[in-house]
């Protein structure tokens, strides 16, 4: 668990470094084509390993706890989009369209897997249920996130940001097929996967960094980031924090109202309040225009940092409470 926490902290620093590198030394022309090809391969491999890591026996065993999974599912794919709709009158007038779309996208994403399990473990929650719920959320996100975005963007005038048939074809080719291949291959490579899980996690996060660098480079080359201001960054961080606090408070109180045990309350809190950067960056890269991806993913990048910091404090607090 300590290794995972160190890896998470490293990712936060590497994300900031990658963003700075893209602004100072963006890839362009021939190098941009090379990075685009590398990004395609990295995303496909990322979802192949997602499938290969999936332990179906554990998932099926934990599925009997359907009430808990239903609460997390509703929070992730219904309540979060509802929050974005409620905040639209606040967000739309003060944010440029790509950043606003980024918040809609953030609220449509599935839950995380690695950090949900890690924080649930630290807080001494139901780890098996966290594994099951976050894994299923990750799978469902491949289908539900694009559908939610179509619903949330139905009245948007900027058709350049909307998903088209080619996007859905790329979604199947680049995400779904590799995931299914990985799932089908697990019986043959499970022992190798389990022995090298830490290396695979490094590959996962390296893939995210590659996609972030390629996406931000495209926006820098197009001159989009010249319009970016520090007050905009402050607004995005503030809105991210508001969304995170609403989600944390809601999941905590709903789990208590529904009389879940303490371990399940912890699981609902940490699985139901998170959004996946590892899934979000590749999805954005497929669904949106390359020149807008860099802006659209900024809210999820910053939300990722905030959720790790806040949830780390909460997890340690839960652990201390159970020690007394």
Residue 2 clears pLDDT 50, i.e. is over it: no
Evaluate whether 256 touches 59 at the Cβ level (below 8 Å).
no
| Residue scoring higher pLDDT (157 or 61) | 61
Q: Residue 101: is its pLDDT beyond 90? A: yes
* Mean pLDDT taken over the chain: 85
Question: Looking at residue 204, what is its pLDDT?
Answer: 80
pLDDT reported for residue 115: 81
Question: If you average pLDDT over residues 91-109, what whole number do you get?
Answer: 94
Q: Could you tell me what percent of the chain has a pLDDT over 90?
A: 34
What mean pLDDT do residues 269-275 have? 94
Rounded mean pLDDT of 181-186? 88
Once rounded to an integer, what is the mean pLDDT over residues 113-140?
Answer: 86
CATH number of 2-323: 1.20.1530.20
Q: What's the confidence (pLDDT) of residue 81?
A: 96
pLDDT band at 4 (very low <50, low <70, confident <90, very high): very low
CB atoms within 10 A of CB 77: 21
Q: Average of pLDDT values for 63-71?
A: 87
What are the Cα distances from residue 46, in Å, to 43, 169, 177, 207, 299? 5, 18, 12, 7, 22
Q: Between these two residues, 114 and 67, which has the higher pLDDT value?
A: 67
Q: What is the pLDDT of residue 159?
A: 43
Is the distance from CB of 265 to CB of 257 less than 8 angstroms?
no
**pLDDT exceeds 90 at position 136:** no
Band the pLDDT of 110: cuts 50, 70, 90: very high
Residues 6 or more apart in contact with residue 191 via CB below 8 angstroms: none
Mean pLDDT of 64-84: 93
Average pLDDT over residues 19-41: 87
Domain boundaries defined on the chain: 2-323
Say whether pLDDT at 218 is over 90.
Answer: no
Higher pLDDT, 191 or 107: 107
**pLDDT tens by residue, 155-164:** 665 444 455 6
pLDDT of 208-217, one tens digit each? 888 888 888 8
Which H, E and C letters describe the chain, residue by residue?
Answer: CHHHHHHHHHHHHHHHHHHHHHHHCCCCCHHHHHHHHHHHHHHHHHHHHHHHCCCHHHHHHHCCCHHHHHHHHHHHHHHHHHHHHHHHHHHHHHCCHHHHHHHHHHHHCCCCCHHHHHHHHHCCCCHHHHHHHHHHHHHHHHHHHHHHHHHHCCCCCCHHHCCCHHHHHHHHHHHHHHHHHHHHHHHHHHHHHHHCHHHHHHHHHHHHHHHHHHHHHHHHHCCHHHHCCHHHHHHHHHHHHHHHHHHHHHHHHHHHHCCCCHHHHHHHHHHHCCCCHHHHHHHHHHHCCHHHHHHHCHHHHHHHHHHHHHHHHHHHHHHHHHHC
Confidence check: pLDDT of 134 > 90: no
Confidence of residue 225 (pLDDT cuts 50, 70, 90): low
């Amino acid at each position: 668990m300590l290794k995972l926490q160190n890896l998470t902290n490293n990712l936060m620093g590497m994300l900031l470094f990658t963003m700075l590198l893209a602004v100072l030394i963006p890839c362009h022309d021939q190098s941009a084509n090379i990075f685009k090809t590398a990004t395609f391969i990295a995303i496909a491999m990322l979802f192949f390993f997602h499938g290969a890591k999936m332990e179906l026996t554990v998932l099926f065993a934990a599925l009997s706890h359907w009430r808990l999974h239903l609460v997390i599912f509703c929070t992730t794919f219904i309540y979060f989009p509802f929050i974005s709709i409620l905040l639209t009158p606040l967000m739309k007038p003060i944010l440029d369209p790509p950043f606003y779309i980024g918040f809609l996208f953030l609220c449509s994403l599935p839950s995380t897997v690695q950090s949900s399990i890690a924080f649930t473990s630290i807080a001494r929650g139901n780890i098996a249920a966290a594994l099951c719920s976050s894994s299923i959320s990750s799978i469902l996100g491949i289908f539900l996130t694009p559908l939610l975005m179509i619903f949330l963007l139905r009245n948007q005038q900027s058709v350049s940001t909307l998903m088209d048939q080619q996007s859905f074809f790329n979604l199947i080719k680049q995400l779904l097929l590799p995931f299914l291949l990985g799932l089908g291959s697990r019986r043959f490579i499970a022992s190798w996967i389990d022995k090298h899980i830490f290396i695979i996690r490094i590959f996962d996060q390296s893939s995210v960094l590659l996609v972030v660098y390629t996406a931000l480079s495209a926006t820098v080359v197009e001159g989009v980031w010249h319009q970016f201001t520090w007050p905009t960054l402050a607004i995005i961080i503030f809105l991210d924090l508001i969304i995170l606090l609403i989600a944390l408070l809601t999941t905590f109180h709903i789990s208590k109202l529904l009389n879940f045990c303490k371990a399940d309350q912890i699981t609902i809190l940490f699985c139901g309040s998170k959004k996946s950067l590892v899934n979000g960056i590749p999805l954005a890269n497929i669904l949106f225009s390359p020149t807008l991806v860099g802006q659209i993913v900024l809210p999820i990048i910053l939300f990722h940092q905030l959720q790790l910091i806040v949830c780390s404090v909460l997890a340690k607090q839960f652990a201390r409470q159970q020690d007394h």
